[in-house]
Amino acid sequence: MDIIIGIILILSFVGMVIYCIKGYNLMVGFIIMATIWTVLPIIGNLLNPNAAFAGMSVNEMLISVYQTGPERYGPSLMNIFLGAFFGRILLETGIAATIIRKSVELGGDNLAIILLVINLITGLIFTSMTGGGSVIAIAMIILPILFSIGVPKVIAFFSFSGSVAAGIFLNPINFGQYQAFFGNAVGGPEYTYNDYLPFGLLAFVIMLAIVSIASMIYLKMGNLTYSWAATKSAEVKDAPSISLITPFIPVVGVVAFQLPVILCFVLASIYGLAICGRLNNGFREACRTISYLFTEGVKDMSSLVAFWITLAMFNQSAAFAAPYFQTIIGGIIPTSPLILCIIFGILAPLTWFKGPLSLIGSGAALLAVVINTTGYPTTFLYPLFAAVLIGMAHFDITISWNAWGLGFNRINTVSYMKVALIPGTVIALILEICNFLMNNPL
C-alpha cells in the first residue's frame, strides 16, 4: 500500500511540474497539491498505519496543513509588509531613482563601468527592498538607461535580474521567507540571519561578479550600436544626498547592531521620509502619508501573501507525503554532503518552471525527503537550497517580474534562457562547493 501511494504522489508531483511549466495559477495549484498530499497519506495511514504519523489523528493532520502551516508564516508576513512599505518609500521619495542616476554618472561614457556600477547598486538596493512591484519599479528606471547606451535588451535584462538576485542573497525579508521551509530540519538552535550572513555575503559577491563578467563577455560577442549617452533629465529632482544611505540602514541595523528587522525598517522609513521632507506638513499630513504608503506597499504584496499562505499548506503537506516518497526514492538520495552539493549545482536548471529543486514550487517535497534521508542541520541545508533557489531560480521566466520584463520589453524568452543558463549553473555550482567548504555537517 505504501508503494502504491508513493507512486501516486510521485505522479502528482510530475503533474505539478507540468502545471507550473504551462503557467497556470500557482496559488490554486498549491491548494490542490496540499489537498492531494494530505488526503492520500491520511488514507494510507488508515489502511496501513505509518510510524511517521503515530499518535496523530485525522483532525490533527488536517489542522497541521490548513491551520498550523499558514500560521507559521505570521512573523514572515509582518516582515514582508514592513519591507514592502519601506520599498514604497524608496520609490515615492525618489531615493532609489537618485541612487541609480548618480551611479550612472560615475561611469561616464564607459559602458563596462556603467554596467558594473549599475549591477552593484541594484544588488545593494535589493538587500532591503523586496517584492515584484519594487523590482518592476526599479526595472523601469534601470532598463531604459542600459538600452540607451547600447546594451542589447536580452543582456540588459539578464544583468538586471541577476543583480536583483544577488541582493536577495542578503535580504533579511527573503531570508525569513525561505527559512520557514526548514521548520522540520534538525540542528539545535534556531538558524538566524547572522548565522547565514557569511554565506550570504559570499554569495552576493560571487553572483554579482559572475553576472557582470558574463554580461561583458556577451557584449564582446555582439556588435553594439550606441544610441546616446545616459543623461539625467533636467526636470527630475534628486533626493537629498544624505538620504541615499536609507536603503542600507536595515541591513546595517540587523548585522552590525543585531536589531529586530521590523524596527530597522521602521527607523529607516522614518529617516527617509524625514530627510526627503515628507513629514514637514504637520502631524495629520504625516500620518496620512505613512498610512498611504503602507497601504500601497501592502497592495504591492497582496498577491504574494496569498501565494505564501497556500505555499505554507503545500510545504506542511510535504511532511506527510515525505514517508511515502522515502519508500520510492529515498534510496537514491545521496547522503554524502559533497556529492549532494555537486548534484544540486549541476542540476540547478531544474529550479526553472518551479521545478523539483525550487522551494518556491515543487521542491518542498524534495526538501522533506532530504531532511528525512540525511538528517543534516539547517546550517547546511539552507545554503544548499538557497544556492539554487536564488542563484539559478531567479532567472526563471515564470517569476512574476521576469515574466513582466520579458513581455514588456519584447525580449525573446528562449534567447533569455540561453543567456542565463550557463552563468546561472556556474553560480549555483560554485556556491554549492562553497557551502560544502563552509558548512560541511560531517
Q: Residue 178 pLDDT more than 80?
A: yes
Higher pLDDT, 244 or 408: 244
Lowest-confidence segment of 21-30, 255-264, 308-317, 403-412 by average pLDDT: 21-30
- For 332-353, the pLDDT digits (tens) are 788 899 999 999 999 999 998 7
Q: Cα dihedral sign for 317, 348, 221, 231?
A: positive
Q: Average pLDDT for residues 122-139, to the nearest whole number?
A: 84
In this prediction, residue 72 carries a pLDDT of 74
Lowest-confidence segment of 117-121, 181-185, 414-418 by average pLDDT: 181-185
Let me know if 281 is exposed, middle or buried by CB neighbors in 10 A (0-12, 13-18, 19+): exposed
Q: Residue 240 pLDDT more than 50?
A: yes
In this prediction, residue 353 carries a pLDDT of 77
Q: Average pLDDT for residues 274-287, to the nearest whole number?
A: 92
In this prediction, residue 231 carries a pLDDT of 43
In this prediction, residue 21 carries a pLDDT of 65
- Domain range summary for the chain, segments of one domain joined by +: 2-439
Evaluate whether 249 touches 271 at the Cβ level (below 8 Å): yes
Helix then strand then coil, in percent of the chain rounded to 5, is: 80, 0, 20
In this prediction, residue 228 carries a pLDDT of 37
Return all residues near 257 (Cβ < 8 A) that are at least 6 apart: none
Q: Average pLDDT for residues 233-241, to the nearest whole number?
A: 70
CA dist 226 and 282 (Å) reads 48
- For 344-389, the pLDDT digits (tens) are 999 999 998 777 888 876 677 788 778 878 889 899 999 999 999 9
Q: pLDDT grade, residue 185 (50/70/90)?
A: low
| Amino acid in position 42 | I
Would you list the DSSP string of 306-335?
Answer: HHHHHHHHHHHHHHHHHHHHHHHHGGGS--
Q: Residue 421 pLDDT more than 60?
A: yes
In this prediction, residue 200 carries a pLDDT of 96
Residue 426 dihedral angles phi and psi, to the nearest 5°: -60, -45
Percent of the chain past pLDDT 70, that is, above it, reads 91
CA dist 390 and 396 (Å) reads 10
CA distances from 160 to 58, 63, 154, 194 (A): 48, 42, 10, 27
Q: Residue 227 pLDDT more than 80?
A: no
3-state secondary structure of 73: coil
Q: Average pLDDT for residues 204-229, to the nearest whole number?
A: 79
In this prediction, residue 212 carries a pLDDT of 95
* The overall pTM is greater than 0.85: no
Cell numbers linked to 4: 502504491
